[in-house]
Amino acid sequence: MAVPGSPGLLRVLWLLAVFGAVSSLDSGMLFPRESSSREVKELSGLWGFRADKSPDRKQGFDEAWYKRPLAESGPVIDMPVPASYNDITQDPALRDFIGWVWYEREVVVPARWIADKGTRIVLRVGSAHYYSVTWVNGVKVTEHKGGHLPFEAEIGSLLRADPLTPCRITIAVNNTLTLDTLPPGTIQHMDDHTKYPEGFFIQNIYFDFFNYAGIHRAVLLYTTPKAYVDDITVVTDFSDNTGLVKYKVSVKGAASASLKVTLTDKDGHCVASSSEPSGVLTVVDVKLWWPYLMHENPAYLYSLEVRVLASNKGSTSEDVYALPVGIRTVSVTSSQFLINNKPFYFHGVNKHEDADIRGKGFDWPLVVKDFNLLKWLGANSFRTSHYPYAEEILQMCDRHGIVVIDECPGVGIKDIRSFGNASLTHHLFVMDELVRRDKNHPSVVMWSVANEPAAEMPPAEYYFKTLIKHTKALDPTRPVTYITDSNYARDKGAPFVDVICVNSYFSWYHDPGHLEVIPIQLSTQFESWYGKYQKPIIQSEYGADAVPGLHNDPPMMFTEEYQKAVLQSYHRVFDQKRKQYVIGELIWNFADFMTAQGITRVVGNKKGIFSRQRQPKSAAFILKERYWRLANETGKLPVWTKYPCSL
Ligand code: GCB
């Protein structure tokens, strides 16, 4: 985190010391962008698909379905990519399927990509849930564990080995969750044949959203020259009106290369440049990146263009990559969260990647609609509950000034066996992957390593101490937290976090129907946590289910009136404590979302202030009024926001 108030030289020295090198990953994961040296070919659309419904789900591997076109080994149906496969057909067995499914797509690769041996051809999958194996023309090119982060394989030499064969991509995806996956789960076989059919088994999960599966984000091919920009890391700071951009470029594929790094402003004017692979660029009259509703001109982005010139056996190649850069600092005191040394109050939401039909599949219309709703609401932030969201969503946050608490998929760590070494090792690896992907987003201001783990269990102390220390070493510039719902006196991980994030559902899961308990229970919650740790607190979840259109006065649970009343009671306490050490409030949830079937869920979780179709419930208007009031009090409205309510 930045050092508030320190002079310029100290800041540069501090910046020079911040690049951690503890990650176990040996390559970058830059978002694929087109440039004069790079092409991108999207493979979204219809893929061939088959679920392996054999009893042990191994038929596909036993018969090597990847070796031949999928249609040759059995029936194939159309499946859109990106999308979860669960809600696409009328087949209940596919909706609740557990095990391997197979996707296939034949691609025409531009001849010039193949002809030019100096071109790297990379296959990239934005995310596939949960475990994936990928083949190209029957040859395995990569395996990946984890459902929410990208993976890649370079496939140029494979395609060139047989240039006349079309490029057939096969991806097998398995959604099974075990004790050491993230999130964890268990498979339970029911062997009592007086009660269950032969071979019956279920997936137990310890989290509250549907375990949607499939290829959830774009699959694409992109090219780079042989010598290419593999990774860029940027850390920013400022002193008075001078901005500091510390950068580090890693180049691969060239024994020696010359570099040109140029920082340009929004109008395309060069403001600083260098020819070194790492250094600190200084920006005079800096325009800082500010959150939405905190400044008249929020979300100012510079562009860091990196050019790599390499020569090999007489021929030269150039790679160009441009990274958006927002210059801002983040720091935490015992009672405040500071962005650019100014107190920031989170008034925002928790979200899910979730919608009708497409499940967790990336969908631009939905993303843009959600951003319009966030702005309408006057929300300045959200938390990526309970897993990393698509990179395109973080790019929208960078561009619109929406502040993000970036959460890894450590949700539902409830079984003591999920605190073992295998789980911890995987969790550390996922943090490596997450920080590698999201480190350069100015909108990301804090890492959340988990949601509501069983933090009272004895192994939680070592687990969270290690995990948080590791995350801070990966990125010393951002605070780290995890989200707790446990009692402050029993929580083993809280001593290690920078910010206390606490979820509570008074008058819902506790004392259901008794709105009158909220003021006392919520005040006690805040006083207890602050009294013990003297760290700033975010109410990271609160809310109540409301079935859209269900009304009762006096308020009763599940009605829109009750949801409104819960919010209003919480808000009165927030208003007392936010003058002291409460630094934010995030409603649970932005929109209704799908869950597993159960006796407490009526076709999903209904705690959204918007329905799943993004229509407002009464509570949305309460929150909108509050957030705009908070914005008027604590921040500055953007210049274009003359009439915020008509947004
Ligand atoms: C929580 C969880 C969230 C649930 C929510 C609820 O504490 O973090 O995943 O959906 O409560 O509605 O029960």
- So what CATH class is 342-634? alpha beta
Q: What is the pLDDT of residue 640?
A: 56
Calculate what percentage of the chain has a pLDDT beyond 70. 95
- 197-225 pLDDT tens trace: 999 999 999 999 999 999 999 999 999 99
Architecture label for domain 39-175+211-223: Sandwich (2.60)
Ligand 1, residue 607: give the atom nearest the CA.
Answer: 12
Ligand 1, residue 605: give the atom nearest the CA.
Answer: 12
Considering the chain, tell me which residue range(s) the CATH 2.60.40.10 domain(s) occupy.
228-325
Whether the model clears a pTM of 0.85, i.e. scores above it, the answer is yes
- 83-92 pLDDT tens trace: 999 999 999 9
Pocket probe mutation, ligand 1, options 448, 605, 609, 612, max atoms within 8 Å of Cβ: 605
Mean pLDDT score across all residues of the chain: 95
- The residues carrying an active-site annotation are 452
- 416-465 pLDDT tens trace: 999 999 999 999 999 999 999 999 999 999 999 999 999 999 999 999 99
User: Which regions of 340-425 does DSSP assign to beta strands (E)?
Assistant: 342-343, 346-350, 381-383, 403-407
Give the 3-state secondary structure percentages of the chain, helix then strand then coil, rounded to 5.
25, 30, 45
Q: Whose CA is nearest to atom 5 of ligand 1?
A: 208
Q: What lines the ligand 1 site, CB under 6 Å?
A: 207-208, 386, 451-452, 485, 503, 541, 588, 605, 607
Q: What is the pLDDT of residue 541?
A: 98
At residue 4, does pLDDT exceed 50? no
For 395, counting Cβ atoms within 10 Å of its Cβ (0-12 exposed, 13-18 middle, 19+ buried), the class is middle
Fold topology of 228-325: Immunoglobulin-like (2.60.40)
- 21-64 pLDDT tens trace: 678 899 999 999 999 999 999 999 999 999 999 999 999 999 99
Pocket probe mutation, ligand 1, options 503, 508, 563, 609, max atoms within 8 Å of Cβ: 503
At residue 647, does pLDDT exceed 70? no
Contacts by 633-640, CB closer than 8 A, 24 or more apart: 634/294, 634/343, 634/345, 635/291, 635/293, 635/294, 635/295, 635/380, 636/293, 636/294, 636/295, 636/296, 637/293, 637/296, 638/292, 638/293, 638/295, 638/296, 638/297, 638/298, 639/296, 639/297
Q: Whose CA is nearest to atom 10 of ligand 1?
A: 208
